[in-house]
Structure 1
């Protein structure tokens, strides 16, 4: 190897470290946002559970599921498309196509969301009848009011992520929006407006967030030179349409059980199931922020032909997801009833549901952002096929198992689907894209979790009272898990990133002082 190649290797390694550090900073910021977001959403569900009861929690969950599905339909795939193509055009310094992609994505999202909202408002009685609850008519119309704002804010924030920065995405979408919604929901419930007051709170918060998201995108574009606009319609639309169908199938997988439960059981059962899923979502709250930071980096690295850097970034994202979520999974599996009692005694029947869902999501966390690897490498058609097949299987399992086992059947169907689709995507990322999660340290993390689970089981048997058992048990699980990670040896990259982040925080604190 000659001198030029050694210099090139050093430069490449330095570049990967800088990219990894940048992804870590973005992921860290997103993690803070995710903690605030999930805390706010948990507080909203807890208030609904204590103030309104299971039935209205179920109605709120069904309306939110409808908003999520229709929001994806309105986005038409530009959630991933805007992030990917903005990152690519910035890497190529292609300003005309950059502006054209953003205009195309925002225009189609605005038109599609308004058309869907108008149709939903007109068909609200029919939709409520299909969902099996005539009291949902007003809620469905409020979903129609919220839909354009929800879609526009998602599209605008997705475009800002193409700059490989997470500030607007986190501050506006993951901190401001849920905190405002929490405040408005608390006021609505205090004034006695019920679940419709919570839906009005969602609508108002979404429109305020949309204005801020559009302003954040405008500030990014303000620094881009004004040149003629080139619309790369064929490439953008082909990717976005397939990505849209893939994302719709994936979101259908998340919300199909809620909608089917609403049609086959009562709102109370949907409420219990929603509380259980909310708890499990808390365990994997680190996945969306890490995935959001990983996506634009994956698009940039793959477009640049840096397979080694992409594999390391994939491994880092997978490791951070499992490392940070594992303590929560341990607590959910050992203390499901105690966790559900936080929402009131009427929700403890969801303990088995919580454990089943936690097992499925644990496998999903261990798989890491494998779907993002397929999407950002341009294999959206393959991702679509995976998601569509699993969605069909999930719907079939729900229809088969819900009449027999109720909400437990829905949980089994969802977990089996999550395990299957993630296993397939991990294999496809390795065999087709040629990227494996380099340095994921999955075995080490699982090994550290075993004594933590043992400590939790011991506390559960020795400590009386559900509050004391939960508090002491969660602390014991966390401490034993942390000790296990330290004894087994943390990953060198995590140590280096941690030192850089603490140094940066120290500098910021000194400046503030």
Structure 2
């Protein structure tokens, strides 16, 4: 059964025909391409800084990036999720007035907040640097202040475009253009001897040019909506946004709490080791963000239109593909942590234990699937907020206890413990508040397929000499063993539906890049 598209871009329910699975597959596939570019760029930036400048400057860059991420969430005030959810709902209801009011309210509030915060941060930069016991960070903090308004606007505008159930602007601008430009400019700055300050100027330029592209992309979609006077449903949107904001702030705080506390309780070198290990682990779960992003507008649409069975089906498919695509990387992280860290140089080998501990926590997060997204997009955002705030408090308490004695290892234990608690709580709440559990056997099959991959990796680790040959041979062997196990265990009908949509989408992506189609998207 096909989906009928109306002029606003909304679609009627697809029922059992799997149209939402196909749409999610196309959007998720496109997002995966963007996620690869994004993670490769971030990896390249950290590797370049590590080799050219050393672990201390890697730590300073990470601290500045953490500050930008935290203040960006403060500026967004929860409108990232609100814009995606309410734009999707207004399109489903053909409510042009609500659509225009929501977009204007979201962009105006976030940009104003980011501008005020940026000016304030620039003024107090010396005091913030004192917190990190590092006066060399003053310039970097002021460059973060300059980046903040642009990064916030870009996030808000791209979140709004996702309400059209398309991932193209989000991926092309936010996940490909901005990180790739930042990597290129960082490499040029380091080659010219501009050092850490040059790398942070690359952050500024990338953010402002991406903001201009995001503005143009949102404008193109808004001008296709029917003309109508904007209606500002302030109470409904802001109540959702404020709770979502607290939830997102706590979730981001969970990511960066270890970095911030390490910078205060230990030193920049330990921050550098912790962040290199974190970057490696995030490479394993890079698929979570693009799949969640593709999943979000569909979950809002399915819940709003009362399609519970299709929701459970889509939830199960999203979870199984997160685990499937992440599993080979988890195997490599657990068996070859020292070899992976050698890519960054000799000074980071102490992060092997940190990498394994972080990988264990993220594996549980992957197996739980997009449970937090389900809570938020179904309107249970307050539950997600309570979970995130609770586990952030747990993470901070554990970090304050463990970091003074164990440094980066203590920060990793705290973070992984908090991740496990958070995801178990959210998966349970989705089951009992919505009556929805991820359907299908894909998750169990993905975990089972990891067993022969681990065995193969351990054989390589034992018998192949040298860290680089071990890493190269291990990557090939793990990939082959895992894919063979996946094929032997078999794919479900939903898996085949999604793969078919992805394969058909390859030609479409090429036409999009060439500018030869304007079909409403993935």
TM over 0.5: yes
1:6 is matched with which residue?
none
Relative to the length of structure 1, the TM-score reads: 0.96
Residues 375, 503 of structure 1: CA spacing in aligned structure 2 closer, same or farther, 3 A cutoff?
Answer: closer
2:464 is matched with which residue?
463
- State whether structure 2 residue 197 is matched by structure 1 residue 196: yes
- Measured in 1, the distance between the counterparts of 2:383 and 2:60 equals 35
Q: Deviations over 1:223-263 (max 9, x none)?
A: 01111111010100000011001100000000000000000
Q: Deviations over 1:172-194 (max 9, x none)?
A: 10000001001100111011111
Relative contact order (C-alpha < 8 Å, sep 6+): which is higher?
Answer: 2
- Measured in 1, the distance between the counterparts of 2:118 and 2:334 equals 40
- Offset at 1:13? 6.7
**Equivalent residues in 2 for 1:50-449 (5 A)?**
50-439=51-440, 441-449=442-450
- Offset at 1:503? 3.8
Q: For residue 18 of structure 2, give the secondary structure of its aligned residue in structure 1.
A: helix
| Aligned partners of 1:184 and 1:201 also within 8 Å | yes
| Aligned partners of 1:316 and 1:440 also within 8 Å | no
- Measured in 2, the distance between the counterparts of 1:76 and 1:377 equals 19
- Offset at 1:497? 2.3
Q: For residue 342 of structure 1, give the secondary structure of its aligned residue in structure 2.
A: helix
Q: Deviations over 1:328-375 (max 9, x none)?
A: 000000000000000001100000000000000000000011000100
Relative to the length of structure 2, the TM-score reads: 0.94
| Aligned partners of 1:16 and 1:309 also within 8 Å | no
- Offset at 1:502? 2.2
- State whether structure 2 residue 51 is matched by structure 1 residue 41: no
- Measured in 1, the distance between the counterparts of 2:511 and 2:394 equals 55
Across the aligned residues of Structure 1 and Structure 2, the Cα RMSD in angstroms comes to: 1.5
**Equivalent residues in 2 for 1:472-491 (5 A)?**
472-491=473-492
- Measured in 2, the distance between the counterparts of 1:306 and 1:510 equals 32
Residues 505, 384 of structure 1: CA spacing in aligned structure 2 closer, same or farther, 3 A cutoff?
Answer: closer
- Measured in 2, the distance between the counterparts of 1:369 and 1:440 equals 16
1:5 is matched with which residue?
none
Q: 312-321 or 416-425: which moved more?
A: 312-321
- Offset at 1:445? 1.1
Unaligned runs of 5+ in 1: 1-10
- Measured in 2, the distance between the counterparts of 1:500 and 1:151 equals 33
- Measured in 1, the distance between the counterparts of 2:266 and 2:313 equals 46
- Offset at 1:196? 1.1
- Offset at 1:439? 1.5
- Offset at 1:16? 4.7
- Offset at 1:15? 5.2
- Measured in 2, the distance between the counterparts of 1:142 and 1:119 equals 13
Q: How many aligned residue pairs are there?
A: 502
| Aligned partners of 1:370 and 1:422 also within 8 Å | yes
- Measured in 1, the distance between the counterparts of 2:441 and 2:411 equals 31
| Aligned partners of 1:76 and 1:244 also within 8 Å | yes
| Aligned partners of 2:25 and 2:499 also within 8 Å | no
Q: Deviations over 1:83-105 (max 9, x none)?
A: 00000000000000100000000
Q: Deviations over 1:147-167 (max 9, x none)?
A: 000100000000000000000
1:7 is matched with which residue?
none
- Measured in 2, the distance between the counterparts of 1:245 and 1:504 equals 37
- Measured in 1, the distance between the counterparts of 2:274 and 2:463 equals 29
- Offset at 1:496? 2.6
- Measured in 2, the distance between the counterparts of 1:510 and 1:178 equals 23
- Measured in 1, the distance between the counterparts of 2:343 and 2:368 equals 30
Q: For residue 47 of structure 1, give the secondary structure of its aligned residue in structure 2.
A: helix
| Aligned partners of 1:83 and 1:296 also within 8 Å | yes
Q: Deviations over 1:457-480 (max 9, x none)?
A: 000111011110000011111110
- Measured in 2, the distance between the counterparts of 1:450 and 1:34 equals 26
- Measured in 1, the distance between the counterparts of 2:406 and 2:509 equals 54
